[in-house]
Structure 1
Amino acid sequence: MTRRSDRALPTLTSPWRIWAKTLPIFLTLITISALGIFNYQKTSSSIVAATLYALRTSEVGKRELGEEIYFRDMWPWIWGEMNQLHGREHMGFGVKGTRGRGWMRFRSVRVGRMGKFETKEWSLETEDGRKIQLMDEGREDPFLNTALEAEGSD
């Protein structure tokens, strides 16, 4: 042993200093991961699938966006609230087709605890700023038929 026994001890770094450096990085990663998980849950929900399907089969949607209507971005971000428990669905996301791109909005509410959802807004805003209502006054709620078909198949 060539070390001297009366040498100076090394300085210790405080554990709080290490925590102060790594905690913001950890919290940022947790926040980004949680937001990604919640958005994935919204993306794979039946509400988003139904509205996207209804847009694909809509004559107005085909006329404005063309064929092959799908999410605009590779990793779509669904903005808004989807709270079926409390009867509030208000969301929007980017869509694209072979002819153009746009932003689809959907808002539906449920009046009463056991009431049915009623679509209040279903619109498409094109890239040139036009806002097109996808629910005609003369046509019924397109989402009501799919709900009735689902109830009949049970």
Structure 2
Amino acid sequence: NPTLLTIPLFASILLLAAVGIFNYQKSSSSVVSSTLYALRVHPVARELLGEDIWFKSRVPWIQGTMSQLRGNIDIAYSVKGTKGEGVMRFRSVRRGRMGLFETLDWSLAMRDGRKIVLLDKSVPDPYPRAAAAAA
């Protein structure tokens, strides 16, 4: 019966379209744009990846969760430059409903297995009073 074949086919196409839409929403978010920009201007990332740092593939796949409303961001995506490629990971949480986000991990895993921590905790918090008030 041809109808029995079209229902699973339609459901599969619908599922793939939904997954693609959700991934597109993640890839065009301000979090992904900001982390990619920060990676482009980071001196260590530029040294390892080279110039022209961008998503590894034309259609980037953003792994992980991004729920700014719930205060949980944990994403990773593949990047490349003129010298190399790797996977950028960013993890940030917001403690409390009105709190500020705290970055827990911002790193670059290179293809050769090296993991470079890009988050510099020695730099003072640019919003110390706001962070203290939120606690």
Common fold: TM-score over 0.5: yes
- Cα deviation, 1:14-65, whole Å, max 9, x if unaligned, reads xxx4432111100000000001111110110000000000000101110110
User: What is the CA distance between 1:77 and its match in structure 2?
Assistant: 0.3
* Matching of residue 100 in structure 1 with residue 76 in structure 2: no
2:108 is aligned to: 124
User: What is the CA distance between 1:140 and its match in structure 2?
Assistant: 4.4
Quote the Cα distance in structure 1 between the aligned partners of 2:65 and 2:3: 35
User: What is the CA distance between 1:137 and its match in structure 2?
Assistant: 3.0
Across the two proteins, how many residue pairs are aligned to each other?
128
1:102 aligned partner, one-letter code: G
Give the unaligned 5+ runs of structure 1.
1-16, 149-154
1:22 is aligned to: 6
1:32 is aligned to: 16
- Cα deviation, 1:79-116, whole Å, max 9, x if unaligned, reads 01000110000000000001000000000000000000
* Matching of residue 134 in structure 1 with residue 118 in structure 2: yes
2:133 is aligned to: none
2:47 is aligned to: 63
1:103 aligned partner, one-letter code: V
* Matching of residue 42 in structure 1 with residue 38 in structure 2: no
Larger Rg computed on CA atoms? 1
Quote the Cα distance in structure 2 between the aligned partners of 1:67 and 1:140: 28
Segments of 4+ moved more than 2 angstroms: none
TM-score, normalisation: structure 2: 0.90
TM-score, normalisation: structure 1: 0.79
3-state SS of paired residue (2:13): helix
- Cα deviation, 1:98-139, whole Å, max 9, x if unaligned, reads 100000000000000000000000000001010000012322
* Matching of residue 72 in structure 1 with residue 77 in structure 2: no
1:84 aligned partner, one-letter code: Q
2:81 aligned partner, one-letter code: G
Quote the Cα distance in structure 2 between the aligned partners of 1:138 and 1:86: 28
